[in-house]
Amino acid sequence: MSSFISLDRLRFLFNRFAERLWVRPLAICLLSIVVVFAAKFIDGSQLADFAPLVEKDSVETLLSIMASSMLVIATLSVSSMVAAYAAASNSATPRSFSLVVADDVSQNALSTFVGAFIFSVVAITAVKNTFYEKAGLFALFVLTVFVFAVVILTFVRWVDSIARLGRVGSTIDKVEKAAEKALIRRRDKPTLGGISVLGSPTKGQAVYTSQIGYVQHIDMAVIQDWANDLDVSVVLSALPGTFASNDQALAYISIPSGALSELDCACLIKAFHIGKDRTFEDDPRFGLVTLSEIAARALSPAVNDPGTAIKVIGSLVRLISTFNTPPKMENQKQVEFNRVAVPEILVSDMFEDAFTAIARDGAGNIEVCVRLQKGLNSLESLNNDDIQKAARYQKQLALKRACKALDIEEDLAAVQKAFRS
């Protein structure tokens, strides 16, 4: 059996690695050191005769200013980012923390500031030890001016971003964007590239794992390769987002010969990447749950912010509408893994994740009740039987909760009117 790593697996691992806060600063620091020493090569080139004279003291002064200021700015950026992370966890939901940490603008800013500091320190050391000749000194001067320009532009952009980072509105936008990507990926491949489940998904030998956590990613190519080698068929029962434990089957295996007990399922189990937390990338329902949590927190008596809940309802309506759009032509009915059967995500589960908490916690708020009914009306109008059925059920359930919570007849009449419209 081949031991290749699929592109889908590499994508998942690369994105997990890129979320680490230290990755980009480390890469930029290494690049800064390389650039400092690369300036030396111009001394031995033909361009050395055309390089103008630059005073050594001017370069040292410029680098000293950068070295002293960049460390302060880098420390300030870290403090601001930590404050934004805390704000995201407290005002929105802790589940959004990974998205806020992975903010590209903040990571690029921190990397630029730290990289500029390392660049200036290493360059000062090289200049003071007469590492450069006339051409190399000029090249270092040009590089220093360029780094200064990049730092200024990055700082201005970062100030604009940090003012929004961690705010509820910005966090909702980030969660919606992450959920949209996951939903589109699942819409284009509803069975993850496998075949649809036919009949009972619990037939065959069950495969369990000793790990306890959430399924974050499934390497379908590895399962297909394993099934081909052993001439078996696999039916998945745990999709990304499922809580895995020693009593929760990951998959069921069927083989024509019936000799199931002799199978080594270690490779199959390793195809399921299990972690302590759910991730947004391959788990579209997690994005819906996170948005619902943000709305539920906003509707708590301590916060009392129905406007945030209304904004979340709009996001949820957009996401489910996007999920209903036709997939790309190249992905329609495309089966890559014919030995792996995968159940499709249930629309009713998506609606439950999205709207149950909002309908429960917002039942006593007339603005939220009316907007929720209007949002579900919009989804019910979509040309999809499953979405229509789920939206109609959630509408009725939300109306029942509103009838229990609302005391004013006029408020209840407004909700009923929105329900019928």
The low-confidence residues of the chain, meaning pLDDT below 70, are 1-6, 18-19, 44, 46-51, 88-89, 166, 198-202, 257-262, 329-333
pLDDT at 44: 67
CA distance 364 to 383: 31
Cβ–Cβ < 8 Å for 171, 100:
yes
pLDDT at 186: 92
The residues, any chain, with a CB within 8 Å of residue 124's CB and separated by 6 or more, are 60, 63, 64, 67
pLDDT at 95: 81
CA dihedral 73, 77, 80, 82 (to 10 degrees): -140
pLDDT at 307: 93
pLDDT at 417: 93
Placement of tokens 């790593």 in the chain: 5
- The helix or strand, by DSSP H or E, that contains position 40, with its residue range, turns out to be none
CA distance 109 to 79: 13
CA distance 81 to 235: 44
pLDDT digits (tens, 9 = 90+) for 94-108: 787 778 777 777 778
pLDDT at 288: 96
Per-residue three-class SS string for 66-118: HHHHHHHHHHHHHHHHHHHHHHHHHHCCHHHHHHHHCCHHHHHHHHHHHHHHH
CA atoms within 13 A on the CB side of 290: 33
- The helix or strand, by DSSP H or E, that contains position 233, with its residue range, turns out to be strand 233-236
| Count of H-run helices and E-run strands, the chain | 15, 8
The residues, any chain, with a CB within 8 Å of residue 348's CB and separated by 6 or more, are 386, 389, 390, 393
pLDDT at 354: 95
DSSP letters spanning 158-227 = HHHHHTTTT-HHHHHHHHHHHHHHHHHHHHH-TTTTEEEP-S-TT-SEEE--S--EEEEEE-HHHHHHHH
Strand partners, 272: 218
Cβ–Cβ < 8 Å for 5, 92:
no
pLDDT at 367: 94
Question: What amino acid is encoded at 165 in this protein?
Answer: L
Exposure b/e, 384-418, CB count within 10 A at least 16 = b: beebeebbeebbebbbebbeebbeeeebbebbeeb
Domain map (residue ranges) of the chain: 19-166, 177-186+283-333+345-420
pLDDT at 1: 45
Q: Which two tokens stand for residue 169?
A: 């509105």
Instruction: Classify 408 as helix, strand or coil.
Output: coil
pLDDT digits (tens, 9 = 90+) for 193-248: 899 886 556 677 888 998 999 999 999 989 998 888 888 889 999 999 999 988 88
CA distance 1 to 16: 27
pLDDT at 154: 87
